[in-house]
Amino acid sequence: MFAGILPIVQWLPKYSPKRDLIGDIIAGFTVAIMHIPHGMAYGLLAGVSPGCGLYMAIFPTLVYMVLGTSKHISIGTFAVASMMTLKVVQSYASDEQVIAQGGENVITPLEVVTTLAFTVGLLHLAMGFFRLGTLSSLLSDPLVNGFTTGAACHVVTSQLKDVFGVTVPRHKGAFKIIYTIVDLCAALPSTNVPALLFCLGIIVFMTICNELIKPCLRKYCRFPLPAELIAVIGGTVISMLVDVKNKYDIKPVGDIPTGLPMPVLPRMDLVPDLVVDSIAIAIVTYSIVMSLGLTFAKKHSYEVRPNQELFAMGVGNIVGGFFQCIPLACSLSRSLIQEQTGGATQLASLVSALIILITLFWAGPFFSFLPRCVLAGVIIVALKPMFMQAGELKKFSKQGKLELLTWLSTFICVVLIDIDIGLLIGVCISLLSLYIKGLKPYSCLLGYIPEASAVYVDMNHHRNAFEVPETKIFRYCGSLNFATSMYFRKALNKALGIDSENTRRASYIPLSQNGSTTINGGITPLHHLNSSFRYLILDFSMLGHIDVAGSRALSDVKHELEKRGVCTFFATPTDRVYDCLVHSMVLGEGPFEMFPTLHDAVEYANACRLA
């Protein structure tokens, strides 16, 4: 039990320094190089200081190393989590003028962020306690894709003011991205041209490194080109040498404290106000961590435990809340680098944290000269994969209209309304599409293949399939319950060629002696209604669940077809379905003739036909 709570106790004694140590050191050093620009950039993006983003690479990362079950993900900052945090900061933190004046009711952005991290941690612990690790399955691929793409639009919009070197008012609520763009357009005449050129230069440099130089170097060494760190260090050096702050009015990131912060208790009076916002952040960050964790676990054949991940994230967020951290997540780019450079365990995170710690003690004052426009360029280039994933919209459209609707609605609502509301709308539409799919199960008629014995296939997809003489085989896939029983009846009538309107009016009047039935006073040949079949076999091999209403629907169908001289057999029911049907027969809904295999039912129908 102790080893289950502390996974490090399981894998650390089995650690092989000869096999894994060099890879973990290289991976940790490489990821630390990426942590520096990412932490500073996403700390500013979250509405706090760059130092808060760097602290993310130490405290939550070390907690996850002890408690987490994934060996390869890189815990720390993430663009979407930072953007969602910024939304909360803008909603609850006091204005800069109020903070400058001071007072009793002043709420600083740092207080909001630390309390938010603490609250998200409590929610993660509660989710783990109640075994809600499967909640991440509510976020389908179209939903996550549309949500992250829409959030990337918010991130880019928030950085445009630093790109152009202008000041725009802060907006809250719905359509804030549109209002911000309108204000940016109005402020374009006062663009700081040196800041714009500086940012464009950083974007061009990083694009060349990522698209041309990195792929070439990857062929010769596994150590990637640290383009982000080169851009940050180069921008800082240029800023110091040219004195861009005074000469060109280019804003720096500001002071970065030296060393580590002292632990401070978050503001507990803000917890009730932040619970609602924390729910969305808790689910999104957990889904990102689990999706990446499962990806690497499948590739390297080890297990990631969902509820233990919730426990690790909960403790990591609570600890981070005491040390000026924002809610934790993991980065796809850093995780890929950690895995590709040879990282085998979370000891790579320890190496990364030590390097960041050295940076905070010795390089903090140096990075305080870094221009904000440089970090804006780093963020924009880093968001390219999020925008590129919009290309999967074509794939989702081929999967179905509901997947396309989920993506479009989530993306549009996130962009136009807000991140958390867009996520909620996307979840609702995703669940609705799931419900609609459940209400319209798949069904078809089966035929046999002459060349293969006991092989029955969908006749719509196989031209060489033939219908069993005087026998219809109907396969139904899905659930048969009170919500789908009507669809089952309609699909069966359509497959058998029965007119539903005439059927309801005639109530399946018995056959006459010449093989016809009387409907509304006229004689209608049977083959006009049901293609002259005498036996119906219902293939329930893919029927997952049936309730009382579904059993009653089967009984009604059986009795109505018996009035037309058609015998009905049930084939291949699962154990659950078989138990429900037997229970229904006890209650008087039967009897039902059931066969263990579809071929047995066909053979029995043939024997009856030839008898």
Instruction: Let me know if residue 169 belongs to a domain.
Output: yes
pLDDT band at 256, cuts 50/70/90? Answer: confident
Does residue 506 lie in a domain region?
no
Alpha-helix runs per DSSP H in 188-253: 193-208, 214-218, 227-242, 244-248
Q: Are residues 356 and 478 in the same domain?
A: no
Do 276 and 321 lie in a common domain? yes
The reported pLDDT for the residue numbered 500 is: 53
Q: Among residues 436, 456, 483, which one ends one of the domains?
A: 436
Instruction: Quick: pLDDT tens for 305-342.
Output: 989 999 999 999 999 999 999 999 998 888 988 888 88
> Between these two residues, 403 and 452, which has the higher pLDDT value?
403
Domain boundary among 390, 419, 436: 436
User: Per-residue DSSP letters for 253-288?
Assistant: -----SSPPPP----GGGHHHHHHHHHHHHHHHHHH
477 within a domain of the structure (yes/no): yes
Q: What is the mean pLDDT of the chain?
A: 86
Q: Residue 68, Cβ neighbours under 10 Å: how many?
A: 27
Helix/strand number for the chain, H first, E second: 30, 11
Look at residue 510 and tell me if it is in a domain: no
Q: Is residue 508 part of a domain?
A: no
Q: What is the pLDDT of residues 371-402, one digit of tens each?
A: 989 989 988 988 888 888 888 888 888 888 88
User: Looking at residue 586, what is its pLDDT?
Assistant: 57
Enumerate residues 6+ apart whose C-beta is below 8 A from 43: 49, 50, 51, 52, 53, 54, 56, 77, 82, 326
Name the band, by pLDDT with cuts 50, 70 and 90, for residue 588. low
Full-model pTM: 0.76
Residue 485 and residue 395 share a domain: no
Q: Are residues 349 and 484 in the same domain?
A: no
* Closest among 307, 274, 271, 270 to 420, alpha carbons compared: 274
Q: Check if the beta carbon of residue 347 is closer than 8 Å to that of residue 8.
A: no
If one counts the domains in the chain, the total is: 2
Residues 418 and 445 in one domain: no
CATH at residue 451: 3.30.750.24
Please report whether residue 512 resides in a domain.
Answer: no
Distance between CA 511 and CA 516 in Å, rounded? Answer: 5
Q: Please state, in angstroms and rounded to a whole number, the distance separating the CA atoms of residues 302 and 93.
A: 43
Report d(CA 434, CA 378) in Å as an integer: 39
- For residues 159 and 125, state if they share a domain: yes
Does 475 lie in the same domain as 563?
A: yes
Q: 349 with 389, same domain?
A: yes
Residues 205, 144, single domain; the answer is: yes
**How does DSSP classify residue 211?**
I
Q: How far apart are CA 80 and CA 151, in angstroms?
A: 6
Whether 2 is covered by a domain: the verdict is no
Q: Which token pair is 71?
A: 């060996």
Domain interval for residue 540: 441-497+532-610
Q: Which of 421, 436, 451 is the last residue of a domain?
A: 436
Higher local confidence (pLDDT), 137 or 202: 202
The DSSP-derived string for 36-77 is HHHHHHHHHHTTS-HHHHHHTTTHHHHHHHHH---SS--EE-
User: Are residue 466 and residue 424 in the same domain, yes or no?
Assistant: no
Same domain for 253 and 291: yes
CB 6 within 8 Å of CB 46: no
- CA-nearest of 488, 495, 510 to 560 is 510
- Residue 103 pLDDT level (bands cut at 50, 70, 90): low
Indicate the SS3 state at residue 516: strand
* Separation between Cα atoms, residue 533 and residue 555, nearest integer Å: 19
User: Is residue 221 included in any domain, yes or no?
Assistant: yes
Q: What is the pLDDT of residues 408-433, one digit of tens each?
A: 999 999 999 888 888 889 989 988 88
3-class state of residue 571 by DSSP: strand
Q: Are residues 104 and 28 in the same domain?
A: yes
